[in-house]
Amino acid sequence: MAEKSKILIIGGTGYIGKFIVEASAKVGHPTFALVRESTIASKADLVDKFKNLDLVKAIKQVDVVISTVGSALVGDQLKIIDAIKDAGNVKRFLPSEFGNDVDHTIQAVDPAKTAWAKKADIRRAVEAQGIPYTYVASNFFAGYFLRGLSQPGATSPPRDKVVILGDGNPKAVFTEEGDIGTYTIRAVDDPRTLNKTLHIRPAANTVSFNELVSLWEKKIYKTLEKVYVPEEQVLKNIQETEFPGNILLAINHSVYVKGEQTNFDIDPSTGVEAIELYPDVKYTTVDEYLDRFV
């Protein structure tokens, strides 16, 4: 059996990072996490604290580098790219993605548009340097967007009234965070994912907002009051809402109103579907996830 790749995860104590660290260690990859010296220090120091030489030294000890830095640090991944290029030994780099496929967000509005453009810029920088890569488009985190049905401030699905952006018909994709970790680690040594985008779009988790509400209503044996917000009002709300609420609204507009997680076919020359590559993975379905809140 081939020796498992050594994996360095930058930002391994962050929200999605900890799931990827766990998934890597679970299947026996020698796993390293590059984190700031003090957990009390500002996360803005995460990459800056490590000089390029230190990054190169860390990277030379591994085969695969996975970045899970938060959105505020996406641009700082240029330093990681430079270090990978200097080290010269990395077999695969996975930059911080783990959301929408940023090359298919053409109808997005600011501030989401600018945030995704920064991730697209990192993709282009990776490609320009000739670094072997895999991009992970995992779509919505279930813990962020499914557990409260994307209702502002909600930590569980509503039981009386639900606000629906647009007409509720475009389909979105929800993935449980542990499953994102599993699929990500399965991809790191897979030649089929080399220089491709790994799309996590299981059919059972690809649902419209109307279908999602209907499923929840059946589970609680109750019909919710539904408030539909037309796109014009959604756009106005984005403009009038302060950060970070405005970026969340803009992301929801892209997905729930414009359908930008599912309104394109996967091009086999540039992308692969995780469910097709790894049919043995038992992922958490939307149906099963919602059962936790009944």
Alpha helices in the chain (DSSP H): 17-26, 45-48, 52-59, 77-87, 112-128, 177-187, 209-220, 231-240, 245-252, 274-277, 286-291
Contact present, 10 and 80 (Cβ < 8 Å): yes
Would you name the residues annotated as active-site residues? 119
Q: What are phi and psi of 171, to 5 degrees?
A: -90, 140
**150 phi-psi bin (left φ>0, alpha ψ -120 to 50, beta other):** left
Distance CA 141, CA 174 (A): 6
CA 22 to chain centre: 16
Distance CA 130, CA 107 (A): 29
Distance CA 44, CA 184 (A): 25
Identify which of 264, 268, 275, 269 has the alpha carbon closest to the alpha carbon of residue 105: 264
CA 86 to chain centre: 27
Quick one: angle between helices 77-87 and 52-59, nearest 10?
Answer: 60
